[in-house]
């Protein structure tokens, strides 16, 4: 596929795995290694069409600030492929635990088959639970779909509520709709909540503010948004590439900030 067609594919993709999109985009943007203006324009177009995918901001920032964009693209692809976050999730879940997830948290789901002793409850947000149930059932796991109306009962049954973030700033995170009610009920029930933030999810606050601004439609009611914003203070633990930490231990974001990426293209 021609690199420009690759970029168009990433820009148009809906519901695709974030890691795959980052790899496709990084590979395609490598053709602009000697064209800084073209590289920035390509990144802006991607971010205009896919503003909620945190790793695309991370990738774009890395490549925009790199002295050698092609090498940066290779490094990005390698880091996405080697992301240890799913392994951290799998390793740290208590023995024989019941966990609650919502929708299709791809990193978390990819790590769960390593733990045959874990039972999984999946809140059926926007019809995604059936696919998760099928995948985990094939891995011989105990898994059950739960109607979102029964979120309180699901939290009561769970030992841990696991929420995967699409992007995260210093104080809040962007999550798919359906996760915030689970977090709120878990806090009331004193159940532990983990936020899972894989490679490229922790972003400079300027990027996170821009993401929130881009998904906010002032003329539309909040109840039709596919996303929710949750405070990091609601999490007991953050599961990140470097391991599991408390929100208060979150250090300075390692992603460089490229202000030129904030301009929007139509």
CATH 3.40.50.10470 intervals, the chain: 85-249
CATH number of 85-249: 3.40.50.10470
Architecture of domain 3-82: Up-down Bundle (1.20)
Contact 46, 10 (CB under 8 A): yes
pLDDT in tens, 78-128: 999 999 999 999 999 999 999 999 999 999 999 999 988 999 999 999 899
CATH 1.20.120 intervals, the chain: 3-82
Write down the pLDDT at residue 20: 86
Residue 8 has pLDDT above 90, yes or no: no
Global pTM? 0.93
User: Beta strands of 130-200 (E only): which ranges?
Assistant: 142-146, 160-168, 172-176, 193-196
Write down the pLDDT at residue 197: 97
In this predicted structure, which of 23-32, 201-210, 235-244 has the lowest mean pLDDT?
23-32
Residue 1 has pLDDT above 60, yes or no: no
pLDDT band for 3, please (50, 70, 90 cuts): low
- 51: CB partners within 8 A, 6+ apart: 210, 211, 214, 215
Across 182-207, average pLDDT: 97
Residue 75 has pLDDT above 90, yes or no: yes
**Residue 31 parent element (H or E):** none
């Amino acid at each position: 596929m021609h690199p420009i067609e690759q970029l168009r594919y990433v820009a148009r993709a809906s519901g695709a795995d974030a890691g795959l999109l980052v790899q496709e985009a990084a590979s395609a943007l490598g053709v602009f290694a000697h064209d800084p203006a073209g590289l920035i324009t390509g990144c802006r177009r991607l971010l205009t069409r896919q503003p909620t995918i945190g790793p695309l901001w991370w990738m774009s920032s890395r490549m925009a600030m790199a002295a050698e964009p092609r090498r940066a693209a290779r490094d990005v692809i390698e880091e996405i492929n080697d992301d240890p976050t799913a392994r951290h999730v799998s390793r740290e879940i208590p023995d024989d635990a019941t966990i609650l997830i919502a929708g299709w948290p791809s990193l978390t789901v990819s790590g769960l088959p390593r733990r045959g002793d874990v039972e999984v409850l999946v809140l059926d947000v926007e019809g995604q639970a059936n696919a998760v149930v099928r995948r985990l059932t094939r891995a011989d796991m105990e898994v059950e779909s739960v109607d979102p109306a029964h979120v309180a009962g699901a939290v009561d049954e769970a030992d841990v509520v696991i929420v995967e973030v699409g992007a995260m700033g210093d104080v809040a995170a962007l999550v798919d709709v359906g996760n915030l009610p689970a977090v709120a009920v878990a806090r009331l029930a004193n159940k532990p909540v983990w936020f899972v933030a894989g490679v490229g999810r922790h972003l400079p606050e300027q990027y996170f503010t821009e993401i929130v601004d881009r998904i906010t439609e002032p003329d539309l009611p909040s109840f039709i948004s596919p996303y929710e914003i949750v405070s990091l203070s609601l999490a007991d633990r953050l599961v990140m590439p470097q391991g599991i930490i408390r929100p208060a231990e979150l250090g300075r974001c390692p992603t460089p900030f490229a202000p030129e990426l904030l301009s929007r293209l139509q």
